[in-house]
Amino acid sequence: MSWCSKRENLEDVTKILVETALGHEKADLVVKNATLVNVDSGELLENTGIAVKSSRIVFVGNVNHTIGTNTNVVDAKGKYLAPGFLDGHVHVESSMLTLTQFARLVLVHGTTTVFIDPHEIANVLGLKGIRLMMDEAKNLPLKVFICVPSCVPAAPSFETSGAELTSSHVAEALKWKGVIGLGEVMDYAGVLSGNEKVHAEIKAALKIGRVVEGHSDGLVGKELAAYRAAGISSCHEASKLEEGIERLRMGMCLMIREASAWRNLTELIKCVTELKMDSRHIVLVTDDRDVLTLVGHGHMDDVVRKAIQEGVDPVKAFQMATLNTAEHFGLDHEIGSLAPSKIADMVILEDLEKVKVKTVIVDGTVVVENGKLLFNLASPSYPSFALNTFKLKKLVSAKDFAVKSSLQNGQVKVRVIGVSEGKALTERLEETLDVVEGVVKANVEKDILKLAVVERHRATGNIGLGFVKGFGLREGALASSVAHDSHNIIVVGTNDQDMAYATNTLAQMGGGLIAVRNNDVLEFVNLPIAGLMSNEPYETVYLKAKRLIEATNKLGSKLKSTFMTLSLLALPVIPKLRLTDLGLIDVEKQEFVSLLVE
């Protein structure tokens, strides 16, 4: 039964819930003798039980009177009982997994609800992509709520996407069952300038009581106030402590992101640990976690654990991943804490501060025991329109990546994108490079590599060229069809020949991530679904991704999340410099800039 159906059927079971709470009927499931993490009261309550009937909690306390001969009794003596974790902002596509495989993976880590913004697949497939995700979610034990993408494409005049969602499309999708809000409004310039499309989408969401999610990196002062005044209630892009403080003081939900490549928790959690600010409007999120991080470190359990390690009181840390999230989305009457009438989504933990999940209960049914999912989830099939998404004008050659200069030989100054570990923001650098026979050369010794974005949706033949510093490659090239948010092919390399080979091979594969050297494929992860997701089990994708990273390291990469970092360099809504298929962009100025400095 779908999540929406469960909500609608509450009225049909209220009488039996009351009867079970009184002990006249017996519970279907009882967890007893636990230490309850009560996120409603902020307490740890020892020797406490939970009784469940018809997927809902009916009693909290001494549950002996609810136990009958057919009651499934789970003895949690010496363990902790907490609400299932909620991820308040996540792009499932960034895991490289289908929603089904993502669910298999995160359920064992105690995540029972996710709020997804499927703008990655929407940029490739439009509304049909969102529908694919929604249809797949219907029969999963993981609860999935949709935030309708607000910016498809993210920056229409700066990139070529595979699809476009008009304000009418967005208004229509906002009314679908399972939709909870409007996805992150990345076009903050449009908000501030009064862009009609952006404001029409916000108005459509607010009119029907949907939350409007934000993306306001770098905004402060009157610009942030204006952005907030539009009705946008959250932000997951704050990276500096002062940005977090200002967002909390303006009544925004501060979503603290701990992703694979961009990690903001250590800095932003100081709002709580050092400044003693109220934590009830802070929500922990993952945003973009790839399969390597999910398998190697976990999901929301990992984020909560890190918050505790940074000095947050454990109960407050759990609130930030449960009740706070539910309240932000207006669902605290259903999920987010363990109280009578609420859906029985629970985790049993062997250790509170280490957040060691032993058992996961969804809708009152045990679904995970000792880290193992107790049943199989059938993998769906995907239509051809989701599997055949590459339309190159032609295969590229090395000469297509040549950066031309009017100078025949000598040196020129160029604008270079600077990247660094764990940061989504880039730096605006200027570097001097050699020109040989009218072509500007990369400088591997100075870690200045060639960067290119090749359009792959409309066969335009567009190729944006640039330079980047910070990857550390000594040889070869890397390419990816995961290139936020329009997901053209992005490629970085030490030489044009390997860059061309990587691009062509990737297109012929139908999408994915690839490492090449001397016209030879070292490793690759094939992602045939919209060029974003694998149709294989997460275990297989993990092993492929692990081998790919090992190959990348051999090429000299010094980043922990090389491909995640690469994927963000094409997103023209995050400062400072970005590259799309149309050229180099100064995001803060919202304009194209020449690669060569005059």
457 & 563 share domain:
yes
Whether residue 29 lies inside any domain: the answer is no
Average pLDDT over residues 335-353: 98
Question: What's the N-to-C CA distance of the chain in angstroms?
Answer: 63
Whether residue 237 lies inside any domain: the answer is yes
> CB burial class (10 A; 0-12, 13-18, 19+) of residue 40?
middle
Average pLDDT over residues 66-76: 98
What's the confidence (pLDDT) of residue 1? 39
Is the pLDDT reported for residue 109 higher than 70?
A: yes
In DSSP notation, 222-275 reads HHHHHHHHTT--EES---SHHHHHHHHHTT-EEEEEB-SS-B-HHHHTHHHHTT
What's the confidence (pLDDT) of residue 239? 93
Number of separate domains in the chain:
2
Average pLDDT over residues 54-62: 97
103 & 184 share domain:
yes
What's the confidence (pLDDT) of residue 423? 78
Average pLDDT over residues 80-92: 98
Whether residue 10 lies inside any domain: the answer is no
Is the pLDDT reported for residue 598 higher than 90?
A: no
526 & 446 share domain:
yes
| Strand 72-75 versus strand 85-90 pairing type | unpaired
d(C-alpha 545, C-alpha 523), whole Å: 9
How do residues 201-257 score in pLDDT, each as one tens digit?
Answer: 999 999 999 999 999 988 999 999 999 999 999 999 999 999 999 999 999 999 999
Residue 490 parent element (H or E): strand 489-493
305 & 437 share domain:
no
What's the confidence (pLDDT) of residue 137? 95
The domain boundary, picked from 322, 343, 361, lies at 322
Is the pLDDT reported for residue 5 higher than 90?
A: no
Is the pLDDT reported for residue 2 higher than 60?
A: no
Average pLDDT over residues 332-357: 98
Asked whether the CA dihedral 295, 125, 177, 188 is positive or negative, the reply is: positive
Whether residue 404 lies inside any domain: the answer is yes
The domain boundary, picked from 286, 307, 322, lies at 322
469 & 573 share domain:
yes
132 & 208 share domain:
yes
300 & 447 share domain:
no
- Binning pLDDT at 50, 70 and 90, where does residue 7 land? low
User: Looking at this protein, which amino acid is placed at residue 179?
Assistant: V
Q: Where are the alpha helices (DSSP H) in 281-350?
A: 291-296, 300-309, 314-320, 323-328
Is the pLDDT reported for residue 455 higher than 50?
A: yes
| Residue 140 structural domain | 84-322
Look up the CATH number of the domain holding residue 129.
3.20.20.140
How do residues 545-557 score in pLDDT, each as one tens digit?
Answer: 999 999 999 999 9
430 & 524 share domain:
yes
Whether residue 428 lies inside any domain: the answer is yes
Is the pLDDT reported for residue 6 higher than 90?
A: no
How do residues 190-199 score in pLDDT, each as one tens digit?
Answer: 999 999 999 9
Tokens read off for 49: 């039980």
- Binning pLDDT at 50, 70 and 90, where does residue 54 land? very high
Is the pLDDT reported for residue 4 higher than 60?
A: no
390 & 315 share domain:
no
d(C-alpha 29, C-alpha 26), whole Å: 9
d(C-alpha 336, C-alpha 356), whole Å: 19
Whole-number average pLDDT of the chain = 95
How do residues 571-581 score in pLDDT, each as one tens digit?
Answer: 998 889 999 99
Residue 244: phi, psi to the nearest 5? -65, -45
